[in-house]
């Protein structure tokens, strides 16, 4: 999967939170955010930005921005997700925030979402993108 280096990769909110708060259960999030981000092209969507502002303090937000400055490239998407696609994903069992993320990724043809969120992994069928954990992504980046 060396081609993953050239793809846009979306990071879920939990990647940032686990890394910044140094959650030992998700040490791969720390490695990804602080040591390997320079190897990928990050796609950061509005829903994730909103969730980060809701869940992180000012210093942690600075940590997010500092980490993103090391990415190979960061694409910022401030657009709202199409409501008809959000509704589509909610009907398939996605929670509201997850449905918004799925709609964004589908709309923009983003091939990968890096997430520790089990809902994406087990509860939603036929996703138009591949969900990888940070640990799995790291195996492709090494």
Q: What is the pLDDT of residues 24-35, one digit of tens each?
A: 999 999 999 999
Residue ranges of domains in the chain: 2-141
Strand ranges (DSSP E) for the chain? Answer: 8-11, 41-45, 73-77, 112-114, 130-132
Q: What is the pLDDT of residues 20-76, one digit of tens each?
A: 999 999 999 999 999 999 999 999 999 999 999 999 999 999 999 999 999 999 999
Taking residue 80's Cβ as centre, other Cβ atoms within 10 Å add up to: 12
Domain covering 2-141 in this structure, CATH number: 3.40.50.1010
CB neighbour list of residue 61: distance below 8 Å, 6 or more residues apart: 52, 53
| Sheet hosting strand 130-132, strand order edge to edge | 73-77, 41-45, 8-11, 112-114, 130-132
User: What is the pLDDT at residue 30?
Assistant: 97
User: What is the pLDDT at residue 120?
Assistant: 63
User: What is the pLDDT at residue 96?
Assistant: 86
Q: What is the pLDDT of residues 90-142, one digit of tens each?
A: 998 888 888 999 999 999 999 999 999 876 656 777 889 999 999 999 999 97
User: What is the pLDDT at residue 94?
Assistant: 85
User: What is the pLDDT at residue 1?
Assistant: 53
User: What is the pLDDT at residue 122?
Assistant: 66
User: What is the pLDDT at residue 78?
Assistant: 95
Q: What is the pTM assigned to this prediction?
A: 0.92
The SS3 assignment for 37 reads helix
């Amino acid at each position: 999967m060396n081609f993953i280096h050239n793809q846009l990769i979306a990071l879920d909110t939990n990647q940032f939170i686990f890394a910044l708060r140094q959650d030992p259960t998700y040490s791969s999030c720390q490695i990804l955010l602080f040591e390997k981000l320079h190897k990928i092209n990050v796609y950061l969507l509005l829903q994730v930005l909103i969730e980060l502002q809701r869940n992180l303090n000012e210093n942690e937000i600075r940590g997010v921005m500092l980490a993103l400055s090391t990415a190979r490239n960061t694409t910022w998407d401030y657009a709202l997700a199409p409501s008809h696609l959000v509704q589509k994903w909610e009907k398939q069992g996605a929670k509201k925030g997850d449905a918004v993320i799925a709609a964004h990724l589908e709309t923009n043809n983003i091939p990968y979402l890096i997430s520790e969120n089990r809902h994406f992994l087990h509860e939603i069928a036929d996703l138009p993108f591949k969900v990888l954990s940070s640990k799995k992504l790291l195996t492709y980046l090494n």
